[in-house]
């Protein structure tokens, strides 16, 4: 189980995965939290809108309709692959579904059990993304849209340390729905896992045709950078591996994006101390100076290895 990503962390994770994001007015505070909790979260549910056209679909998902107020999801994925963020918090997207399915998602086990009991609140447990499609089995799914679904799902899974088994279709959550119709969720999970085997955009992607190698952060050099507390932008950075750590802290919602600058200064030290506390450390063990265990845990979640 995991706390939902902050709005800033969600945007950072999506953009790091190469997603084109449009932030609609008020989305960061647009939710149904007064009706119940959002979180702990366990996965991502993919839907289709049963509509056509981006503008109308986004408006519908933002505002909802009589009997089902918006937001109806967290983001709308258009046919061109653009992701429109419309809500952050509890959203009316998953409804009630099968607790056995939830337990399988948490365990990331396969295959998923067939849903039959609608005994669990999915709006608490899942991120939800509506994909613009009529859902009639004839409306096409452009490659740009399928790629965006995989990128969005991988971004969230990467941020939480999940695999593609944490991504399900609405029809896999409840036997009262058929979405998404027109592509297979097993194939989509394979796409997500393929992305999770590669670094996010901007994280030392290998040259075309070269075998993938994850970025490596040298602990001793990172600690030296943290202890030197270099000045803010405008001066040379002491160690390039700082950027991998800062991007991860941004994705965790612990560091403001403006401090992702390669300088392990006071803001980054404070953010890393918050990460250490999240890992369970207290007192002098959460002083913001990286240690091997906490750094490896951060790297496992955000795509880099640690050399100690």
Domain ranges of the chain: 7-196, 216-307
pLDDT tens digit sequence for 110-149 = 889 999 999 999 999 999 999 999 999 999 999 999 999 9
Residue 234's pLDDT is what? 54
Instruction: Tell me what pLDDT residue 139 has.
Output: 97
pTM above 0.85, yes or no: no
Residue 197: its pLDDT value, please? Answer: 79
Stated as kind and residue range, the H or E segment containing 216 is: strand 216-218
pLDDT at 240: 75
CATH architecture under which domain 7-196 falls: 3-Layer(aba) Sandwich (3.40)
Which residues are CB-contacts of 100 (< 8 A; sequence separation ≥ 6)? 113, 115, 117
Q: For residue range 145-197, list pLDDT tens digits in order.
A: 999 999 999 999 999 889 999 999 999 999 999 999 999 999 999 999 988 87
Provide the token pair at 52. 């056509």
Q: Assess contact for 78 and 145: CB atoms under 8 A.
A: yes
Percent of the chain at pLDDT > 70 equals 91
CA 269 and chain centroid, separation: 24
Task: Give the rounded distance of the alpha carbon of 91 from its chain centre.
Answer: 16
The band of 303, judged by pLDDT with boundaries at 50, 70 and 90, is: confident
32-68 pLDDT tens trace: 999 999 999 999 999 999 999 999 999 999 999 999 9
Per-residue pLDDT at 210 exceeds 90: no
């Amino acid at each position: 189980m995991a706390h939902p990503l902050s709005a800033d962390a969600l945007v950072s994770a999506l953009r790091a995965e190469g997603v084109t994001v449009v932030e609609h007015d008020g989305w960061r505070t647009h939710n149904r939290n007064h009706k119940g909790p959002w979180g702990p979260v366990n996965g991502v549910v993919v839907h289709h809108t049963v509509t056509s056209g981006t503008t109308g679909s986004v408006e519908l998902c933002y505002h909802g309709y009589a009997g089902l107020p918006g937001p109806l999801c967290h983001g709308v994925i258009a046919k061109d692959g653009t992701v429109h963020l419309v809500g952050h918090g509890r959203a009316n997207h998953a409804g009630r579904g099968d607790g056995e399915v939830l337990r399988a998602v948490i365990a990331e086990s396969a295959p998923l059990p067939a849903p039959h009991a609608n005994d669990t609140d999915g709006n608490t447990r899942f991120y939800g993304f509506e994909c613009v499609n009529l859902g009639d089995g004839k409306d096409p799914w452009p490659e740009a849209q399928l790629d965006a679904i995989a990128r969005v799902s991988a971004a969230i899974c990467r941020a939480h340390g999940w695999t593609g088994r944490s991504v399900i279709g609405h029809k896999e959550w409840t036997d009262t729905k058929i979405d998404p119709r027109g592509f297979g969720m097993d194939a989509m999970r394979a796409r997500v896992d393929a992305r999770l085997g590669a670094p996010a955009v901007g994280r030392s992607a290998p040259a075309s045709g070269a075998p993938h190698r994850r970025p490596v952060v040298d602990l001793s050099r990172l600690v030296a950078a943290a202890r030197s507390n270099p000045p803010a932008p405008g001066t040379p950075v002491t160690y390039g591996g700082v950027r991998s750590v800062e991007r991860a802290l941004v994705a965790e919602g612990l560091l403001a994006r403006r401090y992702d600058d390669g300088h392990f200064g006071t803001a980054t030290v404070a953010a890393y101390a918050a990460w250490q506390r999240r890992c369970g450390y207290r007192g002098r063990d959460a002083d913001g100076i990286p240690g091997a265990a906490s750094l490896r845990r951060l790297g496992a979640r955000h795509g880099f290895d640690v050399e100690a």
